[in-house]
Structure 1
Amino acid sequence: MDETIAELITGSTAVEIADSVRAAHERGHLRDGAALPSVRALADRLGINRNTVIAAYRQLTRAGLVETRGRGGTRIADLAPVAQEGFAAGSVLHDVGTGNPDPAWIPDPAAALHAVAGRAVLYGEPVIDAGLDAWSRPWMAADLAPADFRLTVTSGAVDAVERLLAQALTRDDAVALEDPCWLAGIQTVRLGGYRAVPVPVDAEGMSARGLQAALDQGVRAIVATPRAQNPTGAALTAERAAALRAVLADHPYVLVIEDDHYSLLSQRPFHSIVGPEHRRFALVRSVSKFLGPDMCLAVTASDPETADRLALRLSPGTTWVSHLLQRLAHAQLDDPAVLARIRGAGAHYAERNAAFAARLAAHGLPAVAGDGLNLWVELPVETRVVREQLMRRGWLARTGDEFMLRGAGSPHLRLTVHDLDDEAAARLAADVVAATVAADGMIDR
């Protein structure tokens, strides 16, 4: 036991012990990642029952101040920043890791703006605007097996997932996440103080065996991406979705959140993992990928109990989503010309990703274009070195390690290439191959 750290922890009750740890951390005496004494060692030093120390550590865990790592012991939580989507600020390199949609394909909202004005919205009115509710209901019902559901609206998909988890879980509850996972999902679970349980993803989506293993570990919620999985581009096949529904059949009260963020842009059919008898579910569809990231709005269809709990966190007048924003989204989604443009954007992203994958294949580097905005490229060498080589050639890419829950070692790059013209795409493909060859030579040495 580190005597210096042990001396900072005092008290004879769980509250006193927890308060002393918190005070030591606030004063900078206990830094992020610092190991705390074992339960037995601290109990012996303080002359108290071990259960008192267990209760103190449990309080600190629920508060998010400490984390337990099995045989690694109990440590002050390390809240190092998680990578974020978007442009890299201040970089002079050509950023091909943004994950952004192409602004040239985002519909101009000017024509719809005049339709959003009108009757003022007052305190106490429904959270979801009547027009958006009417438009969204058949859109969601077409892909939901349970017949009984309710709609609500949140400030985007991340907001929806955060609120859904918060209404169902407490700190240290286990959540099944796809591995690799979208960056905001990792951040949401981490900041909520939940315990992420990785479920492997392959070309057909979430692994049924992996989901069963996660359920065996006691997960209370599952966050899944039915198509355009970020970062891999995987989409559930009908067979895989059926296998996942079969696994979930014995767990009807586990909350299943399906994040169909790509929805209207997707070139793949939607296959749900929620069966008709499942009791806790939420289908989330945001508009940011096709109406623009600044349109912070998502529609959620969920079981009545989940909807009621979600509504409590969206009190009209305090945390509701602007009805002007809802009406603007509805006006665009109800416009056939806008919907045609969205379909064109989806086809454009698919075509550009497929063309880039073909360029890599022509250079002897096989790549498969999945669904979504990005391309997930597997390399035969360490991607960190490839990324460094690409930076020397003027490109900024993302390595797969940023998206992994199990730690480093992903042999992938995630590239956003759909907005490159043919000349730039050809140059990037050649540079990826050259960087891979150079990295292979460096590793051999």
Structure 2
Amino acid sequence: MRPDSLAGALRAGVRAVVYSPRAQNPYGGCFSAARRDALAELLRAEPDVLVIENDHASSVTEAPLHSPIGAGLARWVHVRTVSKFLGTDLRWAAAACDATTLARHDGLLLLTSGWVSHLLQETVLGLMTDADTRALVARARAAYTVRRQTLAGELAERGIASHGASGMNLWVPVRDESAVVNGLRSYGWWVAAGARFRLSAGPGVRISTAGLEPVEAGRDGAGVSPGQWGYAGPQQRVF
């Protein structure tokens, strides 16, 4: 999220702002302290705008949390889920919010489905307070970082730019998304075409690195050439 774009949206009358402060999907972006401060300055001037902060990868991203919420915003909610690191079937979320938003949230639950499984809550609590599970999550966080950074380094060595400052994905700008997706698939690699994710950005592909062992990132003969990715250079395989 860029401050200039946010300022334009606020002038246009938006009523809510939703963002991921780190491990953003698919770009792998995260807020710096400077970006946080710039966004917070704009949001403080709009006390009627609800700010929704989705920190979905909180425990498995190494990037620090730079949250505009702590800078005196009037209406806000910070949401964390556990499906990224405790299991995709654990549909559980925790939310912290200002008093007005909390009252509206609780009132809505009273009028709709306000019951949340005690078994589910107890399972999440047990896992989050278990020493072995916490150690496993810490190892996963370190592994995800190494895997993302290793692939980014291998791509850079072959003259291919990528972006992914946090999280489990790399975004790679390309000339032709279909050519790259189909080319990699013919070698047994699946990546996501960027068309479904982008609004005004150029073509690109998303590579999820969570399950990619570092030794696989540099494997020869299992990818497409830099020319196909949209970069000039020797016809060298990227995987």
Q: CA deviation at 1:440?
A: 5.5
Change (3 A) 1:405 1:317: closer
Instruction: Give 1:239's match in structure 2, choosing from 14, 20, 34.
Output: 34
Change (3 A) 1:345 1:393: same
Q: Give the corresponding residue for 1:420.
A: 212
Q: Give the corresponding residue for 1:357.
A: 152
Q: Give the corresponding residue for 1:396.
A: 190
Distance 2:40 2:230 in 1: 42
Distance 1:326 1:357 in 2: 38
Instruction: Give 1:315's match in structure 2, choosing from 87, 110, 115.
Output: 110
Q: Give the corresponding residue for 2:177.
A: 383
Does the CA-based 8 Å contact 1:262-1:289 persist in structure 2? yes
TM-score by length of 2: 0.88
Q: CA deviation at 1:279?
A: 1.7
Distance 2:159 2:71 in 1: 46
Instruction: Give 1:216's match in structure 2, choosing from 3, 6, 11.
Output: 11
> Does the residue aligned with 1:229 lie in a helix, a strand or coil?
coil
Q: CA deviation at 1:405?
A: 3.1
State whether structure 2 residue 107 is matched by structure 1 residue 305.
no
Change (3 A) 1:269 1:420: closer
Does the CA-based 8 Å contact 1:358-1:367 persist in structure 2? no
Q: CA deviation at 1:311?
A: 1.6
State whether structure 2 residue 126 is matched by structure 1 residue 336.
no
- One-letter amino acid matched to 1:415: I
CA RMSD of superposed structures (Å)? 2.2
Percentage of identical aligned residues: 37
Q: CA deviation at 1:384?
A: 2.5
Residues 46-445 of structure 1 aligned to structure 2 (within 5 Å): 206-315=1-110, 318-379=113-174, 381-406=175-200, 410-427=202-219, 431-434=222-225, 436-438=226-228
Distance 1:422 1:305 in 2: 47
> Does the residue aligned with 2:209 lie in a helix, a strand or coil?
coil
Q: CA deviation at 1:268?
A: 1.2
Does the CA-based 8 Å contact 2:28-2:163 persist in structure 1? no
Residues 11-22 of structure 1 aligned to structure 2 (within 5 Å): none
Does the CA-based 8 Å contact 2:20-2:53 persist in structure 1? yes
Does the CA-based 8 Å contact 2:160-2:229 persist in structure 1? no
Unaligned runs of 5+ residues in structure 2 are 232-239
Change (3 A) 1:347 1:305: same
1:174-230: CA deviations, max 9, x gaps? xxxxxxxxxxxxxxxxxxxxxxxxxxxxxxxx1011100010110000001111111
Aligned length, in residue pairs: 231
> Does the residue aligned with 2:150 lie in a helix, a strand or coil?
helix
Distance 1:276 1:315 in 2: 31
Q: CA deviation at 1:439?
A: 6.5
Unaligned runs of 5+ residues in structure 1 are 1-205
Does the CA-based 8 Å contact 1:233-1:371 persist in structure 2? yes
Does the CA-based 8 Å contact 1:260-1:284 persist in structure 2? yes
